Structure 1
Amino acid sequence: MESFRKLIRGWLGKVLLVLFLLPLALAGMESLFGTGSNKDGVAKTVNDLEISDKDLEVQIKNYKDQYLSMVQGDESLLNQSYIAEAALDSLVNRALLIQQAEKLGITLSDAQIEQMIAQQPSLQVDGVFSKTAYENYLRSIGMTSQALIANLRQDHALKILSSMITDNSLVSKVDIQQISNLQSEQRSLLLSSVKLDAYKNQVKVTDQDITAFYNKHSQKFKQLAAVDVDYVVVSPALFGSQNQVTDAELKQAYDQFVQTQKKNAKVEVHHILITTDARKPAEAEKLANDIYAKIQAGMNFADAAKQYSEDPTSKNVGGLVEAYTAGAFGEDFDKAVAAANNTISKPVKTQFGYHIISAKPEAVNIPSFESEKARLTAEVLKTKNANVYTDTVNRLNEDVVNNDALDVVTQELKTVKIETAKAVTLGTTNPVLSDPNVKTKLFSDDVKNGDRNASSNIQLANGDTVWFKVRQYHAAGVQPLAQVKAKVKEQLIDQKAYDLAKAKIATMLNDFNKLPAQQVLSKYPQSFENAGVFTRSQGLKREIERAAFSVPAPKEGMWSVTTAALPNEMVVVAVASVKNASVDSLSAEKNQELLKLYQNYRGNQMLEDYTNYLKSQAKIK
């Protein structure tokens, strides 16, 4: 621990990274409570704590990334306003809980925080804290050790306070029984179908009826935003292999390949570091120059590293920088490595001090021209064909935009044609129009505001190119009666037919509430079929499931009966028996699973209630 304490307070303490904190932190920690250097506008003030616009922007991006993973990256399907509200609310909640933790004196000591960092698996090798692993990702960012410790203290205070609430929710056996009932309740169902065609023949509706039904149920006639659109698609495959590869082009491609191989060759880097932690920069520079002079006079580099280097992870291995990657020590260090090339550099200054660098590139075994000829030929040909395609698309795009017409594409490329699609929504599965880039422009503000010009070219995910021209835009909202009158009439007839059918069996339904099932069945001609035994979400049609699990459990010998409406059909749903699983009959594993499920639900509910209480007492503006 002492070695770690020295390390964190030394030269590495100037550039600390908190990547390993991300799994521990609640969303947004890395920006909201960082170094306090934000100068942006204020999105919200929570008591005396400001949440900046930048904080909110970062949190919105975090939320968007989570939701995008659920919709395969299709941003057009996201509710942007909801995401923004949820992101801001999460930052407000976090601020309130952290402030409350401070009031309650919930905190960790420096020693506890240092121990926690040293125990992070990502910073250990074979179960022991590794300075090398620590260095690999702590070198080139700008958080101080003080900021790191402050963030850890704050984050864990929040974690402790949240856990005190969520981990102490009480759950009884009755609670578990209720959850068990919901999950495992078995209902024996009998169904009887009543076709509505005969009843529809009895229904008469007037325009007044249609208007009244529409006014009462207008929300049933909502529509999503939709467009009627023409579009044309051009594919790279249309151009085939129209080019040939010259010897000069192959020679140029091979030369570039050789240069790339040499550039990507690994370099073995050794360095001697003289820090400015305990001395002035001028003193560090002089010492580094003295050491360089000794090496030039014949002193072995490894011996010099062991004697003088202040990099504890490399001094005893000849100054070797393990897994060197560009950027680890900064641009000046990288330039010195590139220039060294089997030589030893003069002292180079970086943010960590002064480095004397030895760099030895590995030997590169470059394949011969003949062995690479076939591959290079295919690559050059692919590039030339792609260039032809790009040039053609650019030329066609200029024609489409200038002429505000799609047929200029079909006039030049006779094998393509203009397609038409109507009522295209964000949920449309058309292989072209469902592309996120296309949908973003189809439903842009310009189109909503009346733009009906031909679009510029849009590249699809598969490499094809599409142009479109919106013919009509249908705004989201309730459709006017004139547009949906036929649909309103159809639904009204269905409803009236259903009401007539239900009225005809009303006496039977009432008798099921009072008499044994067999007595009712003998009294009426209604025929029921045994559908089987079902639990929730077990494959029943949604309307039937809702009806079946909405009625109470029947008394012995009786049925609980109701009806469900399906297209052109009324279904009489009868529940003959209900069987619940006993908590004692559940396996220990299942019982524990239900216990944790409900504890988690109730704990989160308690945390939400507590946060809402803090909101009611806070000054938020």
Structure 2
Amino acid sequence: MESFRKVIKGWLGKVLLVLFLTPLALVGIEGYFSGGSKDAVKSVNGTDISQKELENVTKSFKDQYLAYVNGDETLLNLDFINNKAMDTLISRQLLLQQAEKLGISLSDQQLIQMIHQQPSFQENGVFSDEMFAKYLASIGMTNRQFLDNLRQDHALKMLSTTFTDNPLVSKVDIQQIANLQTEQRSIQLASIHLDEYKKAVKVTDAEIAAYFEKHKAQFKQPTSADVDFVVLSPANLPAVNTAPSEAELQQAYNDYAEKLKKDAQPIVKHILITAGDRTDAEAKALAVSVADKIKAGLSFDKAAAQFSEDPASKAQGGKLAVYSKGAYGDAFDQTVATAKVGQVSTPVKTKFGYHLIEVEGAVANVPAFETQKARLAEELLVAKKANAFADTVNTLNDQVVSSDALDVISQDVKGVSVQTVKGLTLASRHPVLSENATKSKIFNDDVKNGDRNVSSSIQLSNGDVVWLKVRDYHQAGEQSLNAVKPLVKAKLIEQKAYDAAKAKIQTVLNEFKTKPAAAVVKTGLSFENAGTFTRADGLLKRDLQRAAFSVAAPKAGFWSVTTASMPNELVVVAVTNVNKNVSAIPAEQVAELQKLYQQLRGQQEFDDYTRYLKAHAKIK
């Protein structure tokens, strides 16, 4: 049953991967849809989609697709990504609107209960306000933004799972899929080489021209370039072994200590009074009342525990686990920036309510000099080597650019030489020229318009540096008949030789349709047993597999025969037996297949529903 496991993890799994590849799958609470400017780029039934939202989702798509092309941005179809991002946002907005119409929503209390039950926010099995606050800071959200996004996320999941978790799937369908993938076909192959047939083939110029006109798309050439380049590595330079002096170490330590002090963050506490069921005036009055209690002697920590309505910080005396600028707005940030240590602010209004803010001084933990000497010495030596390499690169850069020649580098530095690559394309895999930094210098409008100057130094991902010069640039597009005439001629000769070989054995092929295999006079054919295969094992070459599984199962004693074209040969593919009575598939594998098929059907139905909503929406 290993082949069956392969199909579950293989073709059907790949189909589902493509379907579910959409980042966020229309949901996700990691800040993609929160905040941002309201400069609308699209309106969906009167609800705006902002430029910020579009930029966030586009970036998420781009990052995901970059992972599939090893970070090579030149291979991305940016128009497709932009359109996909917009389509995702439109679909999401329509589904949110539909969820609201259907009353699919959770209350704040239900959401808070869900949050408290999340293990990632718990410490020793108990919800941790500090862990939750750190998480909010890491994604740049306030408590209210998180709850609102979580509510939307849950509504979308509820709506989508209505389709994806409940599709109707026939047991007959599942059994048919299982039968197709576990079916075993015994195959015999006979090969006819085309060399002798090619000798008799004649191809005229008129035939070449006619074939070229009909199949021009086959002869398009990608953009390519012929490139000279020189790579310089730190290993090409003499070693730098100068140990740092005591004075250098002391200066490095002083800089390190100063940075720690500069980067130390103040401790920010706040007490939040929300409007909620109150009017704005009532909320402000309560905030003033709490401030008066603090002035009268009530500690800020106790006041926060008693009055603050920020569940993430009130148990910590109002202390924010991490203070991030922008989380509560400009007014909040300005108060923190101007506050005196230990002084409680007057009520500060933000979109969340009224805040009383107290700031404690930042304290930097600076380790002793002796504990840092070894690390600083190593860092200084690395920096000296990097500086020496950078100085050499700068000197060579001036020489290369002024002379517009690469060989000045090989003349000055031993062990390096000018190398050449011809026909480099965007899809080429080259250890140096396929990096994003080098591709952007080779395939750009300046080079396209005739710039053939040597580039300045280009930093590579491994720390090396390269200079390059485009010798020739070949535009993408259809090639002329003269340029591809030999290739067209070769294709025609191959096809004519194949047709001639097939015509010669056509009588034999016809006999297989009407006679048992044993009665067929296999003139000129020598069959060999290739083995027994399933669709999922992938052991046959693709063209042979496609041919073998395209014919009907033979009757007893007969062979089902077809042909396949391979380079310089015609292969006769004979299916001698089909075994559909494979041993029973284990119940757990049938269940896994059914689950995958249900996901596929459910996703298709959900996509249809989304398309229906779009068809009836006002999208501007």
> Please, what TM-score do these two structures have when normalized by structure 1?
0.81
Instruction: Go from structure 1 to structure 2 and tell me whether the alpha carbon gap of 1:581 and 1:23 turns closer, same or farther (over 3 Å shift).
Output: farther
Looking at structure 2, the residues matched to 619 and 372 of structure 1 have their Cα atoms a distance apart, in angstroms, of 64
* Alignment correspondent of 1:600: 599
Is 2:271–2:356's contact at 8 Å kept on the other side of the alignment?
A: yes
Is 2:197–2:501's contact at 8 Å kept on the other side of the alignment?
A: yes
* Alignment correspondent of 2:511: 511
The one-letter code sitting in structure 1 at the alignment partner of 2:70 is Q
* Alignment correspondent of 2:555: 555
Which digits, 9 at most, give the CA deviation of each residue in 1:416-452, with x for residues without a partner? 2211110111222221111122123222233233332
What is the CA distance between 1:385 and its match in structure 2? 2.2
Instruction: Go from structure 1 to structure 2 and tell me whether the alpha carbon gap of 1:32 and 1:73 turns closer, same or farther (over 3 Å shift).
Output: closer
* Alignment correspondent of 1:296: none
1:585 aligned counterpart, secondary structure = coil
Q: Does 1:248 align with 2:247?
A: yes
2:356 to 353, 357, 364: 353
Is 1:336–1:357's contact at 8 Å kept on the other side of the alignment?
A: no
What is the CA distance between 1:239 and its match in structure 2? 2.0
What is the CA distance between 1:562 and its match in structure 2? 0.8
* Alignment correspondent of 2:173: 175
Looking at structure 2, the residues matched to 23 and 416 of structure 1 have their Cα atoms a distance apart, in angstroms, of 45
* Alignment correspondent of 2:277: none
* Alignment correspondent of 1:54: 52
Identity of aligned residues (%): 51
Is 2:225–2:424's contact at 8 Å kept on the other side of the alignment?
A: yes
Looking at structure 2, the residues matched to 376 and 499 of structure 1 have their Cα atoms a distance apart, in angstroms, of 76
* Alignment correspondent of 1:107: 105
Instruction: Go from structure 1 to structure 2 and tell me whether the alpha carbon gap of 1:30 and 1:47 turns closer, same or farther (over 3 Å shift).
Output: farther
404-413 vs 222-231, which moves further: 404-413
* Alignment correspondent of 1:619: 618
Question: How much is the aligned-residue C-alpha RMSD, in angstroms?
Answer: 3.8
1:219 aligned counterpart, secondary structure = helix
Q: Does 1:155 align with 2:157?
A: no
Is 2:29–2:150's contact at 8 Å kept on the other side of the alignment?
A: no
Aligned length: 575
1:513 aligned counterpart, secondary structure = helix
* Alignment correspondent of 2:117: 119
Looking at structure 2, the residues matched to 492 and 391 of structure 1 have their Cα atoms a distance apart, in angstroms, of 59
Instruction: Go from structure 1 to structure 2 and tell me whether the alpha carbon gap of 1:240 and 1:542 turns closer, same or farther (over 3 Å shift).
Output: same
Is 1:226–1:425's contact at 8 Å kept on the other side of the alignment?
A: yes
Looking at structure 2, the residues matched to 549 and 232 of structure 1 have their Cα atoms a distance apart, in angstroms, of 52
> Please, what TM-score do these two structures have when normalized by structure 2?
0.81
What is the CA distance between 1:591 and its match in structure 2? 0.7
Instruction: Go from structure 1 to structure 2 and tell me whether the alpha carbon gap of 1:224 and 1:412 turns closer, same or farther (over 3 Å shift).
Output: same
Q: Does 1:540 align with 2:540?
A: yes
What is the CA distance between 1:139 and its match in structure 2? 6.4
Is 1:60–1:87's contact at 8 Å kept on the other side of the alignment?
A: yes
2:26 aligned counterpart, secondary structure = coil
Q: For residues 61-72 of structure 1, what are the structure 2 equivalents within 5 Å?
A: 61-72=59-70
The one-letter code sitting in structure 2 at the alignment partner of 1:473 is Y
Which digits, 9 at most, give the CA deviation of each residue in 1:380-426, with x for residues without a partner? 23212211221222233334334433233334335422111101112
Looking at structure 1, the residues matched to 359 and 207 of structure 2 have their Cα atoms a distance apart, in angstroms, of 92
Which digits, 9 at most, give the CA deviation of each residue in 1:123-153, with x for residues without a partner? 3344444333333344698866665554444
Looking at structure 1, the residues matched to 66 and 179 of structure 2 have their Cα atoms a distance apart, in angstroms, of 35
Instruction: Go from structure 1 to structure 2 and tell me whether the alpha carbon gap of 1:51 and 1:316 turns closer, same or farther (over 3 Å shift).
Output: closer
Q: Does 1:187 align with 2:190?
A: no
* Alignment correspondent of 1:459: 459
* Alignment correspondent of 2:224: 226
* Alignment correspondent of 2:381: 381
Looking at structure 1, the residues matched to 51 and 180 of structure 2 have their Cα atoms a distance apart, in angstroms, of 44
The one-letter code sitting in structure 2 at the alignment partner of 1:366 is A
1:67 aligned counterpart, secondary structure = helix
Looking at structure 2, the residues matched to 308 and 62 of structure 1 have their Cα atoms a distance apart, in angstroms, of 38
Is 1:180–1:581's contact at 8 Å kept on the other side of the alignment?
A: no
Instruction: Go from structure 1 to structure 2 and tell me whether the alpha carbon gap of 1:236 and 1:286 turns closer, same or farther (over 3 Å shift).
Output: farther
Looking at structure 1, the residues matched to 377 and 360 of structure 2 have their Cα atoms a distance apart, in angstroms, of 41
Looking at structure 2, the residues matched to 150 and 460 of structure 1 have their Cα atoms a distance apart, in angstroms, of 44
* Alignment correspondent of 1:134: 132
2:83 to 81, 85, 88: 85
Is 1:223–1:477's contact at 8 Å kept on the other side of the alignment?
A: yes
What is the CA distance between 1:203 and its match in structure 2? 0.8
What is the CA distance between 1:259 and its match in structure 2? 5.5
* Alignment correspondent of 1:10: none
What is the CA distance between 1:550 and its match in structure 2? 1.3
26-35 vs 181-190, which moves further: 26-35
Is 2:313–2:319's contact at 8 Å kept on the other side of the alignment?
A: yes
Q: For residues 473-484 of structure 1, what are the structure 2 equivalents within 5 Å?
A: 473-484=473-484
Looking at structure 2, the residues matched to 95 and 446 of structure 1 have their Cα atoms a distance apart, in angstroms, of 42
Is 2:260–2:364's contact at 8 Å kept on the other side of the alignment?
A: no
What is the CA distance between 1:90 and its match in structure 2? 1.7
1:84 aligned counterpart, secondary structure = helix
Looking at structure 1, the residues matched to 43 and 322 of structure 2 have their Cα atoms a distance apart, in angstroms, of 44
2:565 aligned counterpart, secondary structure = strand
What is the CA distance between 1:243 and its match in structure 2? 5.9
Which digits, 9 at most, give the CA deviation of each residue in 1:577-613, with x for residues without a partner? 122356x811111010110111111111111222222
1:618 aligned counterpart, secondary structure = coil
Q: Does 1:98 align with 2:99?
A: no
Looking at structure 2, the residues matched to 437 and 250 of structure 1 have their Cα atoms a distance apart, in angstroms, of 35
1:524 aligned counterpart, secondary structure = coil
What is the CA distance between 1:202 and its match in structure 2? 0.8
Which digits, 9 at most, give the CA deviation of each residue in 1:83-135, with x for residues without a partner? 22222222222222223333334333444334334433333344444333333
Instruction: Go from structure 1 to structure 2 and tell me whether the alpha carbon gap of 1:443 and 1:492 turns closer, same or farther (over 3 Å shift).
Output: same
Instruction: Go from structure 1 to structure 2 and tell me whether the alpha carbon gap of 1:307 and 1:543 turns closer, same or farther (over 3 Å shift).
Output: closer
What is the CA distance between 1:24 and its match in structure 2? 8.3
What is the CA distance between 1:496 and its match in structure 2? 1.0
| Structure 2 residues without counterparts, runs of 5 or longer | 1-21, 275-282, 349-354
2:85 aligned counterpart, secondary structure = helix
What is the CA distance between 1:188 and its match in structure 2? 0.6
What is the CA distance between 1:190 and its match in structure 2? 0.4
Looking at structure 1, the residues matched to 143 and 264 of structure 2 have their Cα atoms a distance apart, in angstroms, of 35
Looking at structure 1, the residues matched to 362 and 394 of structure 2 have their Cα atoms a distance apart, in angstroms, of 47
* Alignment correspondent of 1:366: 368
